[in-house]
Amino acid sequence: MPTTRHDVVQQLQARLAGVDSMDEAALEREHVHVLGRKAGLLTAALKSISQLPIEERRTFGAELNQLRQRFESAFEARRRTLSQAVRSQEDDVDLTMPARTTWSGGIHPVTRVIDEIVEIFHRLGFAVAVGPEAETEWLNFGALNFPPDHPAMDMHDTLYLDVGGDPPEGERMLLRTHTSPVQIRTLQASPPPVRVVIPGTCYRNDTFDASHAPAFSQIEGLAVDEGITFVDLKATLIHFAHEFFSPDTKVRFRPSFFPFTEPSAEMDIGCLLCGGSGCRACKGSGWMEILGCGMVHPNVLKSCDVDPERYTGFAFGMGPHRITMLRYGIPDIRMLFEGDMRFLSHFGE
């Protein structure tokens, strides 16, 4: 406890010097400690004046009052500095920054299209079959009645795998160029009656441009049983077009050629954009090509040990990437591979 006037003034001056470095809590404690009405140091000192000899009262009183003013303005200045510091910290926060949100995943439009197509055939009694993406040359071509010199087998079109050694003809490995080898695998694994759809990724030695991708999806279909005719093929695929696009979609079949079907056809639908009058999307023809199809070639059945005199069947193959582009009017196949959220978010969750 300071005893002399000098001690009191010195102690208060020392405390006054400390005010400038106090934090908010210390500042409030110091305020009470010095200027508190009941037990503040300065308050007590001022109260003690009345006990001093009269000649000392005036000078000591003046000294204390001056100290009180200096404390008050020091407290005030320190408070102002502290609150400005808080405000400038707040200024460092970018209030325009987007809030952190939870991202919910979505189903890719091509996956959505594949699911829908598979579901339509599922309701017609088709099961789903799958096969490997690395395939033998025999299953990808030979068993499907491709002649040994078929241009599709060319290294320019097909991605062959180097698995070492020098495999004999037909046993070379490649990335399947279509889902058709799974027709063979299915028939070899289970005798007719067979009804399957086969979704999967296929690979070709293609450029990656607006309408080609070196990896793309296909959905294959195969139905083999006694008494299956071209009427079954047409009825099934027209039903599919009406379910998938719309009940009033126009459908036509054009003769075509595939080694593994005879006869072969291509199925078109009336252009989804212009309805048939001709536009850029259908190159003026009014039609859009949707899939290839045909009656399973007897040689294909034979390579699966299925008797072509007893059984017949139809097959078809379509490209979900292409169908997705036609359905949603997507101009460039690469948009379906880029994973750009600005594009994908149009397709919902």
| Site of interaction with ligand DAH (CB under 6 A) | 178, 180, 220, 258, 261, 292-294, 315-317
Provide the 3-class DSSP secondary structure of residue 207: coil
b/e string for 290-319 if b means 16 or more Cβ within 10 A? bbbbbbbbbebbebbebeeeebbbbbbbbb
How far apart CA 288 and CA 269 sit, in angstroms, is 5
Contact between 221 and 197 under an 8 Å Cβ cutoff? The reply is yes
Q: Name the residue nearer to ligand DAH (CB basis): 142 or 317.
A: 317
Q: Name the residue nearer to ligand DAH (CB basis): 45 or 224.
A: 224
Q: Name the residue nearer to ligand DAH (CB basis): 60 or 141.
A: 141
Contact between 199 and 179 under an 8 Å Cβ cutoff? The reply is yes
Q: Is the peptide bond before 263 cis (omega within 30 degrees of 0)?
A: yes
- The residue sitting closest to ligand DAH, measured at its beta carbon, is 317
Min dist CB 233 to ligand DAH, Å, is 9
Min dist CB 221 to ligand DAH, Å, is 7
Helices (H), 124-229: 137-140, 181-189
How far apart CA 55 and CA 15 sit, in angstroms, is 27
Min dist CB 291 to ligand DAH, Å, is 7
Min dist CB 249 to ligand DAH, Å, is 20
Min dist CB 209 to ligand DAH, Å, is 18
How far apart CA 75 and CA 234 sit, in angstroms, is 93
In total, the chain counts a number of residues equal to: 349
Q: Name the residue nearer to ligand DAH (CB basis): 64 or 228.
A: 228
Q: Name the residue nearer to ligand DAH (CB basis): 30 or 220.
A: 220
Min dist CB 314 to ligand DAH, Å, is 7
Q: Name the residue nearer to ligand DAH (CB basis): 152 or 281.
A: 152
